[in-house]
Amino acid sequence: MARHGSDATQLVTPAMLAVVGVLASLPLWIGQVGLYPYIGIEIVIWAIYALSFNLLLGYTGLPSFGHGAYFGIGAYAFGLFQQNVLPGLWPCLAAAAGAAALAGLVVAAFISHRRGIYYAFMTIAFGQVFWVVAIKSHAITGGEDGLLRIQRAPADFGIVSFDLRDNVSLYYFVLGVFAVVLVALWRLVNSPYGRILQAVKQNETRAAFVGYNVWLYKFSVFALSAALSGLAGGLFAMAQTSAFPDVMSLHYSGYVVMMTLIGGGIVSFWGPVIGAALFLLARDAIGAVTTAWMLWFGLLFMLVVLFKPEGIAGWWQDLRREGGARRPGLARLRMLFGG
């Protein structure tokens, strides 16, 4: 993982301001480019999901290939909690994160002493278990018909309350959550805890022999990532006003891996965000022309894995390294957007 330079000590970095700023302006121009605000909601939610996934893949080197399970559990937990326990937004989001964290804790207990492909496969197996359960528990989840009639409860901040039924207001709400997640994750990855996660990624043996309980780090970060994925899933249930099992399938679990890798999650904090945006924009742009958009995205993914596993962010970092000195104007822009 690349060093984050002096930005590492900051609570809010220029890059965060730039990204959230650009996203905040999205409803103003998204209609003009032939898209619609709802895609903004999807991009931001999947960005949160991909960021939390990258805590495992990019920072700790843990290939969790069944991660859709926790996103899906978050979505179902949000809906079920709303319909059966408390209808408020905050308790529902807490339930989404909590349920996914719980599932993550159980799975992590089984897999945290594993490595490599075995780890990857165990996560796939657990992901399939949750997926099958979601499909077959028709009475609870609605099976393949989905859990329907999930409400977009208002965001109540005590003094003010925002109605989220409109897509633009929901967009600003998820963007707000995204900003909080960004700040929190940036703190986390630059903290001692985050540093040790990166150490575990590079060399488990070494980390153990200088006194770190590697198992505990792999265990805790998995649960943490599951919780955040569940939060994203809860938001997704709200956006869709329903929850379906397909986000838990192997395909969807693969999508978040593709996003993260293409964006450059291996070398950059921002990789998952770039990847999520690219993935969803490509889906709509290519999808408008051909139904086989996944074919083209799959090919792009293969090319990235073959020739540039560091993804778009890695390519950007290379450009900065080579061209930064020659073109000061561009370099300043790059400093703002950095790797």
Partner 1 sequence: MNLLPHILNGITLGLLFALIALGFMLVVGLMEQINLAHGSLFALGAYLAFVVVSGRLPLPVEWVREWLLVPLAWRYAAALVVAPLLTALAGMVLELCVRRTYGKDPLYGLLLTFGAAMVIEELIRLVWGTRDYVLPVPPSISGGMIFWDLIWSTYRFYAAAFSIGAIGLVWLFIERTPYGAIIKAGAHDSEIVRALGIDLTRLRLYVFAFGTLLAALAGIIVAPIWGIRPHMGVDAVVPAFLIIVLGGVGSFWGAVAAGILVGLVVGVSGAYASEWSLLSMYILLIAVVTFRARGLSGKKSLLEA
Partner 2 sequence: MVLFEAENLQMRFGDRTVLENVTLSFGAGKLYGIMGPNGAGKTTCFNVLTGRYRPTRGRVRIDGEDITGLPPHLIARKGVSRSFQIMNLFNDFTARDNVMTALPEMRARSFETRRAVASDAKLADAAEAVLARVGLAGKGDVRAKNLSYGDRRALEIGVALAAAPRVLFLDEPTSGLGSDGTARLAGLIGTLKGQLTIVVIEHDMPFLFGLADEISVIHWGQVIAQGTPGELRANDWVRRSNLGKLQ
For partner 1, the binding residues (CB under 8 A) are 63, 110, 114-118, 120-122, 124-126, 128-129, 132-133, 136, 249-251, 254, 257-258, 261, 291-292, 294-295, 297-299, 301-302, 305-306, 309
User: In whole angstroms, how far apart are CA 191 and each of 10, 194, 229, 286, 337?
Assistant: 11, 5, 21, 40, 22
Point out which residues pair with 162 in neighbouring strands: 155
Q: Which is nearer to partner 2, 213 or 290 (CB)?
A: 213
CB of 194 to partner 2, least distance (A): 7
Choice from 136, 149, 206, 327 touching partner 2 (CB under 8 A): 206
CB of 97 to partner 2, least distance (A): 16
Tell me if 209 contacts partner 2 by CB under 8 A: yes
Choice from 115, 187, 320, 334 touching partner 2 (CB under 8 A): 187
Total interface residues for partner 2 by CB under 8 A: 29
Tell me if 21 contacts partner 2 by CB under 8 A: no
d(CA 336, CA 31): 27
Only segment of 63-71, 184-192, 229-237, 292-300 that touches partner 2 (CB under 8 A): 184-192
CB of 92 to partner 1, least distance (A): 28
Residue 92 partner contact from partner 2, partner 1, none using kind-dependent CB cut-offs of 5 to 8 Å: none
CB of 219 to partner 2, least distance (A): 12
Q: Which is nearer to partner 1, 176 or 254 (CB)?
A: 254
Q: Which is nearer to partner 2, 23 or 214 (CB)?
A: 214
CB of 326 to partner 1, least distance (A): 32
Tell me if 116 contacts partner 2 by CB under 8 A: no
CB of 62 to partner 1, least distance (A): 11
3-state secondary structure the chain: CCCCHHHHHCCCCHHHHHHHHHHHCHHHHCCCCCCCHHHHHHHHHHHHHHHHHHHHHHHHCCCCCCCHHHHHHHHHHHHHHHHHCCCCHHHHHHHHHHHHHHHHHHHHHHHCCCCHHHHHHHHHHHHHHHHHHHHHCHHHHCHHHCECCCCCCCEECCCCEECCCCHHHHHHHHHHHHHHHHHHHHHHHHCHHHHHHHHHHHCHHHHHHCCCCHHHHHHHHHHHHHHHHHHHHHHHHHHHCCECHHHHCHHHHHHHHHHHHHHCCCCCCCHHHHHHHHHHHHHHHHHHHCCCHHHHHHHHHHHHHHHCCCHHHHHHHHHHHHHCCCCHHHHHHHHHHCC
CB of 284 to partner 1, least distance (A): 17
Tell me if 196 contacts partner 2 by CB under 8 A: yes
User: In whole angstroms, how far apart are CA 60 and each of 5, 204, 225?
Assistant: 20, 10, 11
Tell me if 193 contacts partner 2 by CB under 8 A: yes
Tell me if 195 contacts partner 2 by CB under 8 A: yes
Only segment of 146-154, 190-198, 248-256, 276-284 that touches partner 2 (CB under 8 A): 190-198
Choice from 192, 289, 306, 325 touching partner 2 (CB under 8 A): 192
Using CB under 8 A as the criterion, which residues of the chain lie in contact with partner 2 when the complex forms? 1, 3-4, 6, 8-9, 187-188, 190-196, 198-199, 202-203, 205-214
